[in-house]
Chain A
């Protein structure tokens, strides 16, 4: 799969369904999914990955080495997240409960960071 510039024009895959465990989508451009990505499901995108739902599974944005790609989800709770050559794992420790809110993941200073998404990048 050839690398594609994230956020480029006219090369996106729009999906209106959930991905269940064992299901996957691989696309060379950006992926927009309206639904959930469950644990055990995978999305691999050459560009950005937007999940309009709960992300519990594995998303690799910017595959294989595009570090400008971003991941946005309404409820971002993956066990592992990959952007380009970077991998972030969920903390092992327990965290206080929280109300779901949209978040964006991107690469800053050579690591993946997650911030609230408030309609601006």
Chain B
């Protein structure tokens, strides 16, 4: 078996990479796929908390790379889905304690046993990013519909295109009432700038925060709007053709900002 290795990245921190990784991972597991989640954010481990698995960690990614244990010993099985596992990051090591070549070997090894290997990338474009991207076949870029995350996403897309072709995009925390008032970039504004395929839009929803704090990601809640959005994203990853609802409102922020020079 050779699975698909997908890195989830963004450039900017705090836009929801880890939450996205957890929800897509659980969503794919709900569809009976064998999934491994890799927390590549060495030194700032978070995925275990969102997944509610922090008390089960024995070994971590750096232990595996250093040969202190086998991969299967470090993989933490999910409490809901036995075919979903997580490889935690180390909380005490540095980003440079792993090389891109070592990450590539690790991901290649995981692909033999899993249908999907999802790699949760750290913020930034330095060593941690290069490590996280090294073993990936595909990428998902997460942004919120705000000016600075979009610029950082643009930077990351440029870097990814050098190594693996076009990534797909998830727009996270879209606040419909703000878009309608023209106070937030809308779907079209973001796509005009980033010009990549849109994989899905996740609405701004406090359920996501509550679910993350409880360690039970929102995709498990079939009644929440954001849970349904993640479910649609998962099905698109599995190849289903599910249209993306238009969430444009009346003219987004770009129209209102329309910054101009001296015009006559």
Residues of chain A having any CB pair with chain B under 8 Å: 18, 20-23, 36, 38-40, 54, 56, 76-79, 81, 88-91, 94-98, 105, 111-115
Contact = CB atoms under 8 A, between A and B. Distances in A.
Contacts of B257: 94-95
B185 to A, nearest CB: 12
Nearest to A20: B158
Contacts of B251: 97
Interface string B243-263: 000000001000111111111
Nearest to A94: B256
Interface stretch (B87-95, B148-156, B203-211, B214-222): B148-156
Contacts of A98: 258
B37 to A, nearest CB: 28
A67 to B, nearest CB: 16
B193 interface: yes
B166 to A, nearest CB: 12
A96 B262 contact: no
Interface string B189-200: 000110100000
Nearest to A38: B154
The 7 closest A-B pairs by CB, nearest first: A20-B158, A90-B259, A97-B255, A21-B154, A21-B155, A22-B155, A95-B258
Contact of A89 (B155, B255, B261): B261
A21 B158 contact: yes
B157 A114 contact: no
Interface in B124-167: 151-152, 154-155, 157-159
A40 B170 CA distance: 21
Nearest to A97: B255
B255 A77 contact: no
B262 A77 contact: no
Nearest to A92: B259
A40 B156 CA distance: 12
B260 A77 contact: yes
Contacts of B264: 113-115
B192 A54 contact: yes
- Among B154, B155, B256, B257, the one with the most A-chain Cβ atoms within 10 Å of its Cβ is B154
